């Protein structure tokens, strides 16, 4: 639930946001652009 609230705040600041489950982090980490 907290992740959804954070995502809404980030989107409100025009930041691209994708919500994923904790178990999907390993699969997505290689796509992260920091």
pLDDT at 13: 98
Domain count, the chain: 1
Element (H, E) at 30: none
CB 17 within 8 A of CB 11: yes
pLDDT at 8: 97
Domain that holds residue 25: 2-31
Euclidean distance between CA atoms 30 and 13, whole angstroms: 24
pLDDT at 33: 76
pLDDT at 31: 82
Q: What is the pTM of this model?
A: 0.63
CA-CA distances (angstroms) from residue 30 to 4, 5, 10, 24, 34?
22, 24, 21, 11, 11
pLDDT at 32: 82
Q: What is the pLDDT along the chain (34 residues), one digit of tens a residue?
A: 899 999 999 999 999 998 999 899 888 888 887 7
DSSP 16: -
């Amino acid at each position: 639930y907290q992740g959804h609230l954070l995502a809404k705040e980030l989107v409100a600041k025009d930041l691209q946001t994708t919500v994923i489950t904790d178990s999907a982090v390993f699969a997505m980490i290689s796509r992260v652009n920091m």
